Amino acid sequence: MDQTYTLDGIRDFKGKYPKQLWYLFGTEMWERFCFYGMRGMLTVFMVSNLGLDDKAANLQYGAIQAFVYAFTFIGGVFADKILGFQKSLFWGAILMITGGFIIAFSPTDLFYIGISFSIIGTGFFKPNISTMVGQLYREGDSRRDAGFGLFYAGINLGALLGGILMVWVGKHYSWRLAFALVGIVMIISLINFLWRRASFGPIGLSPLNPDMPKSRRRFYEIATYVGSLIAIPFILIMVTKTEYTDLFMYIIGPVTLLYLGWEMRKFNMQENKRLVAALVFILFSILFWAFFEQSGGSLSLFALNNLQADFFGLAIDPNVINNSANSLFVIIFSAPLGLLWFWLSARKMEPNSVVKFGLGFLMLAIAFFVFYATIFFADADGITSLEIFTLAYFIITFGELCLSPIGLSLMTKLSPVSIQGLMMGMWFLASAYGQYVAGLLGAGMSSADPDATPLMKLHAYTEGYMQLGVYALIAGVVLIVISPFVRKLMRGVH
């Protein structure tokens, strides 16, 4: 007889992790394989196969990544209001599979069409799986952070594999096969989810009133699917013409804040103070990702043009290091850092979430100062040390671990259940703005001169990294200073 899973039964798990977390871990891991594999390929592919210069590639990268994350907000809203998280995951996976195979059919001719499918697919997939992780736990369950830490390790295992394999296959074997891997791996992710779907019980089912006539429910669901397909030509136009990206980003943020304000009228003062605290984290995360996401833009091109293909005597593609070092370090150090937080907590010395955010920015600042320092190890041709470059990624990893997994958990802790999908979407929308600004920053550092030498590019990029280090340092100090005020708004959430 099949087991019937109830919400209380799921949340009454023994030990540190519910078994459903492992199923979500596997589903998200393969999706992140695709996302980070694609992220690591974008600028390299656009420069080497689409004929874009560095400046244009950075802007295009920022536009694509901005739309990927902006649509996580839209996907979160439709999951909250109509589809539920489970059907959103399924639909998102189907669109991503389609997008990967479209590009694989003709990478140069169909690149932007396939990317448009992937953008909307990720929007339906990404925020909702994180929200399902949060719903595995009761409010106040101290194991929630550990659960998100494990989930974050799954994200980075997929990112490590995708970051290594996809850019290597694309650069050294076949771009067509590299993009086909997106479709193949997302099929694995979807099968993993569908196989375990029953174990989630009521988590992620449609939020529509059960008493609503079946025909009306079906109409809302089909309208959502059709509407997302109709949006693809508009996404195509906005991605290919970055001036439309600017317009979109100017509109979506204010509209989102107005919508959140409308939703906040339903909640009491304590709940709204927590939402204001969540907005503080969201706004600062925009800055963090604007700097961090140089990884897929300017740092990817820096790896392509300015790094030795030698790591302590081992011949290795610098783009493979750029795409995988951070993920490898996250996998190695996320558990020890989590144990450090537990050790400090037992002694009542653990920094609160706001201070951790501030520490994340300080580590980010140090990392960019190290990226700048690569100029002192360069030869006369502007080719510099892969080892120093990797050291910067080692440092930046601890900044990420102080911010990103905690941010996912905080969105579920600080948000009322009825708008958790919306708030998770806003967390990723902040990433969209970060990606958008990352493209602008990367374009500002790079040269549109097709004859620019590696030495000229080295000077331009490292000077930009020094400036980013200074800005990150200022943001970290500000966060630490305002931490007592934000903690009051959080109303007991640590």
pLDDT in tens, the chain (494 residues): 456 778 778 777 887 788 888 888 888 888 888 888 888 888 889 988 888 888 888 888 888 888 888 887 788 778 878 888 888 888 999 999 999 999 999 999 999 999 999 999 988 887 677 778 878 888 777 777 777 777 777 778 888 888 888 888 988 889 999 999 999 999 998 998 888 888 888 887 877 777 788 888 889 889 989 999 999 998 898 888 877 888 888 888 888 889 888 888 888 888 888 899 889 999 999 999 999 989 888 899 899 889 999 899 899 999 989 988 988 998 888 778 877 877 887 888 878 888 888 999 999 999 999 999 999 999 999 999 999 999 999 999 999 888 876 776 787 788 887 777 678 778 878 888 998 898 889 888 886 666 778 888 898 899 999 999 999 999 999 999 998 888 888 876 66
At 452 the three-state DSSP class reads coil
| Count of H-run helices and E-run strands, the chain | 17, 2
Amino acid at 14: K
How much is the pLDDT for 423?
A: 81
CA nearest to 70, candidates 224, 261, 253: 253
Can you tell me the distance from the alpha carbon of 397 to that of 157, in angstroms, rounded to the nearest whole number?
A: 14
Amino acid at 25: F
> Which is it for the CA torsion 328, 331, 336, 341, positive or negative?
positive
How much is the pLDDT for 492?
A: 65
Residue 360 CB contacts under 8 Å (≥ 6 apart), including other chains: 288, 398, 399, 400, 401, 402, 403, 476
Domains of the chain are: 7-490 (1.20.1250.20)
Residue 139 CB contacts under 8 Å (≥ 6 apart), including other chains: 413
Angle (nearest 5°) at CA 457 between 454 and 459: 115
Residue 129 CB contacts under 8 Å (≥ 6 apart), including other chains: 24, 27, 28, 31, 85, 89
How much is the pLDDT for 374?
A: 95
Model pTM score: 0.82
Tell how far CA 435 is from the center of its chain: 9
Question: CA 86 → CA 80, 180, 192, 258, distances in Å?
Answer: 11, 25, 13, 27
> pLDDT digit string (tens) for 56-92?
888 888 888 888 888 877 887 788 788 888 888 889 9
How much is the pLDDT for 286?
A: 92
